[in-house]
Structure formats: C-alpha cells, structure tokens
Amino acid sequence: MTAADESVLITTERSGLPAERGWWRKAVVYQIYPRSFADSNGDGMGDIRGIIEHLDHIEKLGVDVVWLSPVYRSPQDDNGYDISDYQDIDPMFGSLADLDELIAGLHARGIRLVMDLVVNHTSDEHPWFEASRSSKDDPKRDWYVWRPARPGTVPGEPGAEPNNWGSIFSGPAWEYDERTGEYYLHLFTRKQPDLNWENPQVRRAVHDMMRWWVARGVDGFRMDVINFISKVDGLPDGEVHDGALFGNGFPFFAGGPRLDEFLAEINREVFGDDEEAVRFLTVGEMPGSTVEQAQLYTDPARREVDMIFQFEHMEVDEGPGGKFDPRPIHLPELKRSLARWQDGLAENGWNSLYWSNHDRPRAVSRFGDDSEEYREVSAKALGTVLHLMRGTPYVYQGEELGMTNTVLERIEDFRDVESLNYFREATEVRGQDPAEVLPALGYAGRDNSRTPVQWDDSSNAGFTVGEPWIAVTPNYRMINAAAQVDDPASVFSHYRELVRLRHELPIVSDGTLTMHLLDDEQVFAYSRALGDEGLLVLANLSGRPARVDASALGWTEGEVVLTNLPDGVPSLGAEVALRPWEAVAWRRRHA
Ligand code: NOJ
C-alpha cells in the first residue's frame, strides 16, 4: 500500500459519511470566505474559531458540504489566493489545531469540508519562489515560468516583456526580476507568480500537498483557475483588442494542451482508485470554458473533476470592456446560457449551480431587486430557480439571508486588489475620469460580496467586537441572521426548504430538465421529469405582473411544493398569473 492509499483510508474512517457514487447530486455546498464570516478574537478579521462558533447556523441550513476559501499562510495580497505555505494556517485565521477542530465539528454534523486549492500560482513569498528567483541555476528555477526579455529590447524597459499578455488584475502579466535579469509570468498580481506545471517535480509537490490534506480529513477541493495550469508552448503574443493596453493571452493559457492529463493525474495520484475517489468532491473553477470542454472535464469515465464552475452566465452583464464595462441583463440571454449548460451536461457530466461567490456582486442586487419592496421575494425567487435545476447548488455566505451589495462610492471604500489596480490603470494610464470608473467598480467590484456576514443588529452586525477590515453593509439592522433563522417566512427558511427538497425529492437531484419560454423577458420556466413524476417551476423574475399559459406547457394541475409569497398561490387551471418576483414549484404524479 502506498502512502497515498493510506491517507485515503484514514480519511474514509475519519469522515464516516456515506458516499455512494455521485453523492454530490443530492448535496448543497455552502461557501465560506473566512475573513468575512465571523471574528472570534476581536481583531476585525474573520477566523476559523469564528466558523466553529457558527456551525449551528450551517447545520440549520442543512447543507452537506462547506467550501472554505483559503486559510493558508499568505501575505494576503489577494486575500489568501496568494499562498506562501500550503501546509500551514495563516495566524490571522488560527492554527492547524483549529482547522482540525473545524473538520471534526463539521463531520460530527454530517457535513464535509472542501478546501480551496490554489496551485496555478503561489505567493512570491513562497519558499519555492524565493529559491526559484535566487539564481538561474537554482534547482527550483524551472518551477516557475521564467523568460528573457523580448529579443532586441532592453530588459526591464516597457515593451521588453517576453510577450504582450496582460495580467487579469491590470498591467502586464510579466514582472522583471533584476537579480537574474529575467521575467516571471503572473496571470494575476505580481505577487502571484505562475507555477510551471510542465515540470513533473511541481506536479509531484502539489500531489504530495493534497494527499497531506486528505490525510487530515478534508473531503475534496475547489480548484482555483485550474484550467490555466497548462500553457501553450512558446507563449505566443495574444491579439490586442480595440482599446486594450495588452494582448489577450487567454487562448494560450486557458484550457491548454495538457490540462486533461494534469487533472487526471491529480485525481489518480491523490484520490486513489475509482472506489475510493467517489468519496471526494472536486470542482474546478474554469473561466471561459465551453460546454463542449466541460463535457470532457466532467465525464466520470475520464476521472478529471466532478464538476466545474463555468462563467458564461456570469458574463451576461459584461460589455465589450469586460466586467467593469457593465450592461443591463437581458433575461432571455441568461436563460439561453443556462439552458445550453443544462442540455450539454444532461447525459454525461454534471453542472455546478451558482449565482454568486467572493468574486461576484451579491445575487439579489445583480439578478434580483434589492429594494425594500422586493428584496426578500426576489432573493427567494432566485434561490428557487437555481436550486431546483439539475446540478449541485452553491450558496455563498450571506446569500441565504438575502444579503445585498454594499455601498462602494469612493476609492477609499475599496479593499480588493483587482478593483484598486483597475482604478489606477483606468485613471492614470488611460486617463479616464474617476467619476466614470467608480460606478462600474461599485456595481461589479468583488468587495460587494466580501463585507462581513450580518449576524445580528448589534454594532458591526455581530461580526466583530473590533474594527472590521472592511465596513459592514449599512443595512445590517434590517438584514441579519438573528432576525431570520427562526422566522418561517425568511429568506433563510426558504433556502433551508430548498436544501430539504434536494435531499428528499429524487426528481430534484436526478430528474431531466427542459427549459421553457426562452424568449419570455419576465418568466424563468422549466420542468423536470423522473419516471412518471413531473415538476414545474415558474418564476417571474421581474417587478411587473406576468402571465404564463401553463396548459401550453402541458400543465393543468399539480400540487404546490414551494412558493415564495405568503398569501395564496396562483392556480394552474387557467392561465397562471404571477405577481412581481413570484416563484412557484408544482409537482405531479405523471411526467
Ligand atoms: C479565482 C479566485 O476565486 C479569485 O478570488 C482569485 O483572485 C483568483 N482566482 C486568483 O487566485
């Protein structure tokens, strides 16, 4: 028996949770962004003990898995997505002993823990990178992507970068390092150098590290930008789009030539044989992936990942200039996108389902209506539409409370490196007016979803007794967990019901899905079928009344399984009249 097999067996005994093949079809995942979840020691920063103190909240919601955003040692240039030690906890979050306690606490409640795996890049303060940059002869030199200046240029001068790629977080994707006179690649900030996955030693080091976490009892990994790990040979220049400062390297680093091989290798090396591997959950974050690619990545026979986070539906409000060039959402476009993914992964493979995470604005503010009048009902409508689809739903912390975007008006309000870098480049390099840039950052900026979880109506929303690292969203007296957890009419209770339905109704986890009324600009409609059962979901995702001819969809009767308004349910008999943001699910015994 190898060390890898041994660690898998330890885990199996540790979690003790039933794990039939595809168990995650019936599961709901809850994402914790630790610095904003709960602060146990008053330093203004969320921590692991804060999570342990709120395990009852997570258990009450009924979710099956927690995905924990990075808690590893990190200089925090990108809030922990820049890791300097993969096998230790950053002191600001606690200790390994705290993490062990968290794992035990979750397992005791029947909840699994999925760790964030950030291995496209490390921190520039990781010992691997410190060795790599120390000399061209260092044994770890080739662990990162080093290149000389473009021929005929002066190293270190603008335009001398090895190729024209832009970083995802503004500026060039290359940093000149005087010590050895070469450049290193960083697709994100200059403090996040890309690892060289072509080097088998790098891959082995990652596998060893993952096995170590498996041995500690973790139940899977969310793999950060994992489709960027295989770059096209030669790193060619990218196309420079109109108005862009840099070339687009995306076609050369996303979904690269050896990605499938690297994913299958991880799976084999870390999770053991097929029987053992079913116990884990792997979800690859894969920006820009197509349905066709996802069919391969998530094909169980290929053993790459169980599911991916695709980005297509996240792009429905992006203009030609990207996320900070927003445009209004057109519901038919959103529905067509989700329909394409439902259809594409219907036979083989599997979808993840999400409206939000730590990189996106709050769902209710973006896809719903966060006004006082419609906030709760629209949050519930969005939850209904998402959770009753085929796939594994992800709930981002606070989404179960209907938390909204925050107020980001002045550049001082922002903390996120992506927004700060973008602002600097837009105003200083492009010469844009701050008054033009700030509203877009305020709409799409990642800090919107990174404000503290609103636990109660005490100062700082019960998140900390100190000074929070980012201001609490001003509406916490109205929107908070204490007000919702025991209120059967709350957004929280609605989400809990959605989790229960996924657990209890096989049609929700396993049924087929057919989208309807794709051109309708107000109504999100689909039906599910399993054996002789049917489920119909109609949701008015607008602030105006809507009408649906359900009989044209073949539905004239059904038992209501879920609704989001307290008073009355529209009848299925005639044309269905839906009030603003009303969402209803009906079930019947024949498909
Ligand atoms: C995706 C993560 O979700 C995001 O927060 C991070 O900034 C980038 N990957 C880089 O790790």
Mean pLDDT calculated for residue range 412-421:
98
Query: At 471, which helix (H) or strand (E)?
Result: none
Pocket test of ligand 1: the residue of 118, 121, 167, 396 to mutate, having most ligand atoms within 8 Å of its CB, is 118
For residue 68, the CA-to-ligand 1 centroid distance in Å is 13
**From the CB of 225, is ligand 1 less than 6 Å away?**
yes
Mean pLDDT of 86-100: 98
Beta bridge partners, 208, equal none
Task: Collapse the DSSP code of 31 into the 3-class scheme (helix H, G, I; strand E, B; otherwise coil) and give the result.
Answer: strand
User: Is the CB of 224 inside a 6 Å radius of any atom of ligand 1?
Assistant: yes
Residue 81 Cβ inside 6 Å of ligand 1? The answer reads yes
Each residue of 47-75: pLDDT tens digit?
999 999 999 999 999 999 999 999 999 99
Pocket test for ligand 1, best of 168, 222, 223, 225 (most atoms within 8 A of CB): 225
**pTM (global) more than 0.95:** yes
**Pocket mutation for ligand 1, best pick of 86, 221, 286, 359 (most atoms within 8 Å of C-beta):** 359
Does ligand 1 lie within 6 Å of residue 226's CB atom? Answer: no
Question: Does residue 118 line the site of ligand 1, with CB under 6 A?
Answer: yes
CA–centroid distance, 468 to ligand 1, in Å, is: 22
Distance 254 CA to ligand 1 centre (A): 14
Q: How far is CA 174 from the centre of its chain?
A: 26
Query: 515: CA distance to ligand 1 center in Å?
Result: 32
Q: Closest by alpha carbon to 76, among 244, 183, 214, 192?
A: 192
Task: From 292, 294, 276, 274, select the one nearest 284 (Cα to Cα).
Answer: 294
Residue 3 predicted with pLDDT over 70: no
Q: Please say if the pLDDT value at position 454 is more than 80.
A: yes
| Residue 563, both tokens | 């609704």
Closest C-alpha to ligand 1, atom 8: 81
- Report DSSP state, residue 160: -
Whether the CB of 194 sits within 6 Å of ligand 1: no
The residues assigned a catalytic role are 224, 285
Task: Tell me the pLDDT band of 591, cut-offs 50, 70 and 90.
Answer: low
Q: What is the pLDDT of residue 7?
A: 39
User: Confidence band (pLDDT; 50, 70, 90) for 8?
Assistant: very low
Q: For residue 78, how far is its CA from the centre of ligand 1 (angstroms)?
A: 8
| Furthest C-alpha separation in the chain | 77
At residue 9, does pLDDT exceed 50? no
Burial of residue 335 (number of CB atoms within 10 Å: 0-12, 13-18, 19+): buried
Across the chain, what does the average pLDDT equal? 96
Ligand 1 pocket residue status of 370, Cβ below 6 Å: no
Residue 13 confidence class, pLDDT cut points 50, 70, 90: very low
Ligand 1 centroid, distance to 224 Cα (angstroms): 6
Rg (alpha carbons) of the chain, rounded to whole number:
24
Ligand 1 center to 82 CA (angstroms) = 9
Rounded mean pLDDT, 207-219: 97
Secondary-structure breakdown of the chain: helix, strand, coil percentages, each rounded to the nearest 5: 35, 20, 45
Residue 359 CB–ligand 1 contact under 6 Å:
yes
- Of 329, 330, 351, 331, the C-alpha closest to 340 is 351
Does the beta carbon of 399 sit less than 6 angstroms from any atom of ligand 1? no
pLDDT at 5: 41
pLDDT tens readout for residues 558-572: 999 999 999 989 989
Q: What is the mean pLDDT of residues 264-274?
A: 95
pLDDT tens-digit readout, 492-542 = 999 999 999 999 999 999 999 999 999 999 999 999 999 999 999 999 999
Q: Give the residue-averaged pLDDT of 310-338.
A: 97
Q: In this structure, which residue's CA is closest to atom 6 in ligand 1?
A: 81
Q: Is the CB of 78 under 6 A from ligand 1?
A: yes
Q: N- to C-terminal Cα distance for the chain?
A: 49
Residues 506, 276, 115, CA angle at the centre, nearest 5°? Answer: 80
Nearest CA to ligand 1 atom 10: 81
